[in-house]
Each structure stands twice: as C-alpha cells, then as structure tokens.
Chain A
C-alpha cells in the first residue's frame, strides 16, 4: 500500500502522559499536513511542512504540541501532558505540491490516529 499511513490507529492514555504519533506520507510528496478532528466537526488545521521545514503552525498548536519532520520524510506529532480536551482524531495528509497558493493539488489523507485521554 503506497498511501499515507499513520501509527498507531488508536491510543488511550491517562491525563498528564505524553503521546507521540507517526505519519508516513506518500514517498514523493514534499508537503505534509496535520489536522485534528473532533466528533461531528470538520478537520482543523494544526501545522504543515514543506520537506523538513515547518512552514505554518495554527494557534491551536499550543506549547504542549510539537511536530517534526526531521529528514523530510516521516513526521511525528507529540503531545505533552495530555488533557481530556486533546481527545480527538489526528489526521495526517500529504500532497505533491501546494494545495493552495500557486498549486492546485489534492491532499491524500491517512486513516488517522484516534486519541482518547482518560
């Protein structure tokens, strides 16, 4: 399967613990995006990378959240000191070119990581 893969698919953690999610994009895609989605809502933008450079971060990405894409390939999203409000589906997507701006490209999404903080 050469699509976007996310690991783990589900994560249950206790409040206050740290969690890390991994995303492997489609191999030739240089752009990688993280979104968060809560039940009944649309995906909310968190951050995106062009290769290894993190180009934009949403205000939703508090100091407890950090994302990396060290070699311009896979990416990790870490949440420190998790809170119950962090419970959500975390979606990763990748694209060959920009989805906006000068590009007109579709994004390919992974299946998501569902986080439950208890």
Chain B
C-alpha cells in the first residue's frame, strides 16, 4: 500500500527556476527519504531527514519535515535540464511497522532549457 501523497503530480519549469515538491504521509515515521528516478531506470537516493530534524540541505537540495502535519517538502534551487526526472518521497517506519520504505506516487519534474 502507498503511504505518501505527493503534490504536484507533474511540474514543468524553466531552467534556473526553483522546483518545490510536497509529500504527505499517514503513519509515524523514523525518517523520510527522497529518491530520484530517471525514466525507466532505478531509484537514486538524494537525501534523508530524521524524524527529529526539521530541515536539511545537500547542495541545491533543501528538505523540510513537519511531523505535526505529517508532511515534507523538497526544494531544488536553480534547476537544470538534467534535473528532469521523477521524484519520490519514502518513509522509513517506526519499530512496529517493519523495516521497509513506503513510497509515495511521485512528482514528475520537467525542466525546460
């Protein structure tokens, strides 16, 4: 079953603009992770934020986590055409819910040169 809802489902921007994707989830989590997937390929890990963290940065990526609202956002600054991909949030669940990641539906990002 899917845990997360991502918003928007698709996003089209111009190169140089910022892209923001949002993720909401349902159950208590240990961490939330963002992955990227190029068309027809495997997923690549981007960033992990723990449940006791509120914000994290990695290069052009900024992730926020609001556990009271059960939501997270991924911001990609100064986007490039090479950022075109699908982006998924995934939740690492707490103790009694198993040691697996549950993925959202994804946001398809298109960055036009």
A107 nearest CB neighbor, chain B only = B101
Interface residues on B, range: 20 to 34
Known contacts A43-B88, A100-B93: A31-B42 contact under CB 8 Å: no
Separation of A51 and B30 alpha carbons in the complex (Å): 22
Separation of A31 and B92 alpha carbons in the complex (Å): 14
Contact with A along B83-108 (1 / 0, CB 8 A): 00000100111110111111111100
Give the interface SS of chain A, mostly helix, strand, loop or mixed. Answer: loop
B97 nearest CB neighbor, chain A only = A100
Q: A116 at interface (Cβ–Cβ under 8 A)?
A: no
Separation of A102 and B51 alpha carbons in the complex (Å): 12
Contact with A along B21-32 (1 / 0, CB 8 A): 000000001110
State whether B99 touches A31 (Cβ < 8 A). Answer: yes
Contacts of A102 in B (CB 8 A): 30, 95
Per a CB cutoff under 8 Å, which of A98, A103, A109, A114 touches B44? A109
Interface residues on A, range: 20 to 34
Q: A74 at interface (Cβ–Cβ under 8 A)?
A: no
Contacts of B100 in A (CB 8 A): 33, 45, 48, 56, 99-100
Q: B81 at interface (Cβ–Cβ under 8 A)?
A: no
Q: A50 at interface (Cβ–Cβ under 8 A)?
A: yes
- The residue among A43, A98, A108 with the most chain B CB atoms within 10 A of its own CB is A43
Contacts of B40 in A (CB 8 A): 89, 112, 114
Q: Which of A1-53 contact B (CB under 8 A)?
A: 4, 31, 33, 35, 40-45, 48, 50
A-B pairs, top 10 by smallest CB distance, nearest first, are A100-B92, A42-B103, A109-B42, A98-B99, A106-B45, A109-B43, A100-B93, A111-B42, A99-B92, A101-B99
Residues of chain A at the chain B interface (Cβ within 8 Å): 4, 31, 33, 35, 40-45, 48, 50, 55-56, 89, 91, 93, 98-112, 114
A-B contact pairs, 7 of them (CB 8 A): A4-B42, A50-B99, A89-B40, A98-B99, A99-B33, A109-B35, A110-B42
